[in-house]
Amino acid sequence: MYLKEGRSLLLKVHKPSIPLVISTNSLQNLNPQQNEQNPSLIEEREVLKRLKNERDITLALEYFKSIAKSRQFKHTQFTYNVMIEKLGWAGELDGIQYLLQQIKLDGISCSEELFISVIDSYGRAREGDRALKTFYRIQDFGCKPAVKMYNKILDVLLNENRFQMISSLYDNMKKDGLEPNVYTYNILLKALCKNERVDGACKLLVEMSNKGCSPDAISYTTIVSSLCKNGKVKEAREVALKFDPILPAYNALIHGVCMEHNMKVAFDLLDEMVSKGLDPNVITYTTIINSLSDEGNVELSLAVLAKMFVKGCVPNVQTFTSLIKGFFTKGRTHEALDMWKQMRQEDITPNTVVYNVLIRGLCSVGNMSGAVSIFNQMGLNGSLPNVTTYSILIDGFAKAGDLFGASETWNKMIVNGCHPNVIAYTSMLDALCKSSMFDQAYCLIENMAMEKCPPNVITFNVFIKGLCGAERIDWAIKVFHQMGNFGCLPNITTYNVLLNGLFKANKLRDAFGLIEDVEKRGIEFNLITYNTIVYGFCRAGMIEEALQLLGRMHVKGMKPDAFTYNTVIDAYCKQGKVKAAIQLMDRICAGEWNLDVVAYTSLLHGICQSIGLEESIVYLQRMINEGIIPNFATWNVLLQCLFNKVSDLGSVFALDNVLGYRNGKRH
């Protein structure tokens, strides 16, 4: 794919494989067979020390193999344990299987700790199936699973959310006559809660107590958090009251009420914590600050931050991230950057998340040079950009119409080995569309499918919008019909974009056919859909149909907005039906909607064209009396009318009196 000035857009980087080179010198130092004529026995502690200290996994394994072939040492369960643990941390799972087979051949007895290490390694690699197979083979090695081992395999399965396997394994545990401990129950509680079975978790909590296993803070907090996540804050509160107050449970409750934007209850819980002798920690305060910042209430967020300092609670990177995000949300860029500086002064190490918030905020106000500057600081401070970072930057360049910046960022992402996700692809596609490079954009969609990152409905909406904006409506319709080939169905936004394009291209028959398609699919119209169709009707001079659609909106409980009314008023005026426009305006004013400067400007233009300047001045005065300030377009309409009818001196003097308002006489 080639861009302007011969620049290409990298789609995939094929990095050459790095050959594994083993230093012969290092091996010579490690090899115990240096002098086979005078072999001497090596002590176990020396072998263990060398294996533990060797950082190169390849050299460690070579040493392990070579010493096994010598007559100087025979491996024990302890040396096998160390080697298997090193392979596990290196992700060398095949090497673990090889050593397990050697253990069996050598007839070495295995400890439970060895198999816990193996299962843990599979868990880190998200290889639950292999972990389970190993668990069921341990008896072949003369080892019988105890509660600790059951807990380990249950934890691995929990992390992969394999609920059915967890249930079966728990049944096996009871059949083996093993009594679950609090750790076992906590895993089961988490599994139930993750699978939306909170009621079952509550029952298990009772069973736990009945069997003499007292629930701990994790047990209660797991259930409280899950109930809050499901919007059952009241039930969570009832569970929390059944045991002694603990900080994690209160933090979960506060998080729950903050998710419901019930800040009054959040502050009440904060006071309740203190009254019960609990000191809120950084999680407590940050949860509240984050919720306040999301609502745009940065002043109160700062008050909570001040309270933290007074209480001796040190804010962390998440606290400052929430505050920075809040300032950007309110458009207060300078204060967001000041908060960033304060964070650095507090010697708090930034992470990728806070960098992403900063870059997104700067991109949102079009400060791409500032965003790039922050991006360049990431590596210097030990935080590597992720796919979200690159996506934010590409999207920022796309919105700024800077294809060069977007493509340069994309290429950096690919070269650095960061695989684009659907958001990054869609942002890059948007940049190409804004530069009318639609062939390249379509190639990008095809590449997404090949790279097993299929485009979603947002991707297609961006592409179709770009095509419609460039008046490539036939291609847009073709792409619309191709969406199913990529396993993607259009949503109401797709229809809205395409309808807008069809109406602007005067393809009324296609537009009406598309409206029928939306209705057949049972997709609900939103306000944008109604406004788009009203605009289309008015553009085609079908005002009566537009009014019928307004009636349908009312029946559906959908309130028209300024765009809806302004479109109809403007259409009336352009057709010379000014009286109808005035009647509609009067009905609007009698209801809940207030007219704006656009509606009045359209009306004044219609009055000037159909009635005359004198009548328009009456409505100009009414407009000003309602507190609506005329804009440049309003005055331009009146002045144009004045020049066309300059002989009407009475109107000229009347307009001069009103113009005094503009010149400051009535300010």
Torsion on CA atoms 525, 529, 533, 538, rounded to nearest 10: 130
The alpha helices in 141-181, defined as continuous H runs, are 147-159, 163-175
Task: State pLDDT tens for residues 273-316.
Answer: 899 889 999 999 999 999 999 988 999 999 999 999 999 999 99
Q: Which of these, 231, 219, 153, 156, lies nearest to 192 by C-alpha position?
A: 219
Torsion on CA atoms 446, 450, 451, 453, rounded to nearest 10: 60
Longest dimension (CA), the chain: 125
Exposed, middle or buried, 330 (CB in 10 Å: 0-12/13-18/19+)? middle
pLDDT score at 514: 93
Which residues of 571-613 form beta strands (DSSP E)?
none
DSSP state of 72: S
Contact call for residues 578 and 606 (beta carbons, < 8 A): yes
Q: How is residue 178 written in tokens?
A: 């093993």
pLDDT score at 633: 87
Task: State pLDDT tens for residues 601-615.
Answer: 888 888 888 888 788
pLDDT (average), residues 458-465: 96
Contacts of 193 (CB under 8 A, 6+ apart): 201, 222, 223, 225, 226
Task: State pLDDT tens for residues 508-520.
Answer: 999 999 999 999 9
DSSP secondary structure, 22-58, as one string: --HHHHHHH-TTS-TTS-----HHHHHHHHHH---HH
DSSP secondary structure, 55-66, as one string: --HHHHHHHHHH
**Per-residue pLDDT for 26 more than 80?**
no
CATH of domain 23-30+41-144: 1.25.40.10
Task: State pLDDT tens for residues 214-233.
Answer: 888 888 888 888 888 888 88
**Per-residue pLDDT for 640 more than 60?**
yes
CA distance 394 to 403: 9
Instruction: Report which of residues 40 and 426 the model is more confident about.
Output: 426
What angle do helix axes 93-106 and 77-89 make, rounded to 10 degrees?
A: 170
CA distance 270 to 367: 39
- ∠ CA 152-158-160, nearest 5°, is 115
pLDDT score at 64: 86
- Domain map of the chain by residue range? 23-30+41-144
Name the percent of the chain lying above pLDDT 70.
91
Residue whose token pair is 């290092």? 26
What is the number of helices (H) and of strands (E) in the chain? 37, 0
Residue whose token pair is 């002798």? 277
- ∠ CA 193-199-201, nearest 5°, is 50
pLDDT (average), residues 644-662: 52
Contact call for residues 473 and 461 (beta carbons, < 8 A): no
CA distance 461 to 48: 61
Residue whose token pair is 């009945």? 210
DSSP state of 140: G
Q: How is residue 167 written in tokens?
A: 């249930």
CA distance 87 to 89: 6
- Determine how many CB atoms are found less than 10 A away from the CB of residue 641: 22
Average the pLDDT over each of 74-78, 413-417, 542-546 and give the range with the smallest value: 74-78
Task: State pLDDT tens for residues 3-19.
Answer: 554 456 777 655 443 33
pLDDT score at 132: 87
pLDDT score at 30: 46
pLDDT band at 393 (very low <50, low <70, confident <90, very high): very high
b/e map 532-564, b = 16+ CB within 10 Å = bbbbbbbbeebbeebbebbeebeeeebebebbb
pLDDT (average), residues 94-116: 83
Which residues of 328-473 form beta strands (DSSP E)?
none
